[in-house]
Structure 1
């Protein structure tokens, strides 16, 4: 199996919205973004699938060393071998790959965030940085496109947090800021025990409105000159926003006890429609 095929399989197995946004890209761009996505999946899986914190930290440190190998021209892993030509061609910043690892590592020790500003830092590392790298891969002619990518990454991560509240609670994690739980009078125990309430629904409506605001900000700042290049990101935005709309319509309180996702057919339809008409 070639490094590129390894990354393709990793992306396809995930069923992620990212995978659908890659389908229409030119070959070299698709190979680059698929390799980046596979890198993110590999690092994320270390945290989510390794139950021993010490083993997880050791593995993440190995990945830091492997990023060093990548930039030294001696990558060992199929993912970094697939990334190597694109790192050189596109001048992808080493620091940003390391920041993604830093963000994933936060999940090993931090299960609560006091304020939204604290959560923003986490979202920046695990999502906005990925957006910045993705924007570079797709093609940037105007620096404002990086502002779009940063805000869009934050919107994506907030959508994930909203969608996965119940799933994260089963892992003992609550990403919703403590200050906001207190403001809406939602005890952490209600979330950890999957108890829906009017207060919880109001809290989730607030989260949805904030995420919608970041989508609007991102799209407003995207320069027209780069809109065509960034269509893959716009495809992802269409799918994520549709997911957010479904949560809103279905009743935001239900995220504690179910994980809503769009069907593959609907994702493919949104991807096709957005790609050709964005």
Structure 2
């Protein structure tokens, strides 16, 4: 159940006391903004529709998560565990208003401003650590555990920043976060294969008669298409459940949430239109596609 602390966002802001000098915070939040923008994330479009203070807090949280994810994806050798542990130690310090890295300075301000618990950030780091030791998932339940760490944790962080009108928002936020992660998994099948990672559950590969070797080699046959269509249907089911609950988010955050969900849902549909060819290039939405989608979402007021 979502605590009242998530719902009463304005009350929390009144109790907040700024610790870092305003100029230092301004530079730190600007740094996080640039990190988010540079990543060309699908989330960035939705972030633009948040009020400035909430947008800054989201930038800080996104930059924190991006930094941890980049440690796993870009760093090599035994130093990865140490770097993640150091980032985790910096997080603990940030909660004590002690920080030197611009991401942590901004995050320290954001978590105190919006009373964000430490647990989801720690969960995200645990999820990143899983990528260091686990490259296969036996069944969907195992994959779901991973999704809870790398995606649902972000939903929890977002709820504290966005605010919500009902405890039900937690449930719908979880549905949306899983839908987004399942879309990422489908989009990145080819990219992950190059790293020797398979996120699609092995039981499902076996069910559709498609081997690990075929997936890693990029073989697109009838078994592959059946497997991917099944994955897409499951992702759609999570979107459908999530989109039913948009009214549970506060007025000043609802459209941003709708846009984030809408962009990723459109990516999923584009993957389907490309007949699941995710080996040649990463499926993305162009600027024109995003603008058209925004007009559609604004016109209907929901997804």
Q: 1:46 aligns with which of 71, 86, 109?
A: 71
Deviates more, 1:173-182 or 1:217-226: 217-226
Q: Aligned-pair distance for 1:128?
A: 1.1
Are 1:29 and 2:54 matched, yes or no?
A: yes
Q: 2:91 aligns with which of 49, 67, 85?
A: 67
Q: Aligned-pair distance for 1:228?
A: 5.3
Quick check: 1:184–1:203 contact (8 Å CA) kept in 2?
yes
Q: 1:237 aligns with which of 261, 264, 272?
A: 261
Matches within 5 A, 1:127-146: 127-146=151-170
Aligned to 1:198: 222
Give the unaligned 5+ runs of structure 1. none
CA distance in 1, matches of 2:183, 2:46: 17
Give the unaligned 5+ runs of structure 2. 1-25
Cα RMSD for the two superposed structures: 1.6
Aligned to 2:111: 87
Aligned to 1:174: 198
Greater gyration radius: 2
Change (3 A) 1:194 1:201: same
Change (3 A) 1:50 1:106: same
**Residue by residue, what CA displacement relative to the aligned partner does 1:179-236 show, whole Å, maximum 9, x if unpaired?**
0000001000001111111100100000000000000111223445646533212101
- Please state whether the residue corresponding to 1:234 is helix, strand or coil: helix
Runs of 4+ in 1 over 6 A off after TM superposition: none
Aligned to 2:18: none
Change (3 A) 1:94 1:165: same
Quick check: 1:20–1:271 contact (8 Å CA) kept in 2?
no
Matches within 5 A, 1:107-122: 107-122=131-146
- Please state whether the residue corresponding to 1:72 is helix, strand or coil: coil
Aligned to 2:189: 165
Q: Aligned-pair distance for 1:9?
A: 0.9
* Number of corresponding residues: 276
**Residue by residue, what CA displacement relative to the aligned partner does 1:149-208 show, whole Å, maximum 9, x if unpaired?**
111000000000001100100011000000000000100000111111110010000000
TM-score (normalizing by structure 1) = 0.95
Change (3 A) 1:272 1:85: farther
Change (3 A) 1:268 1:11: farther
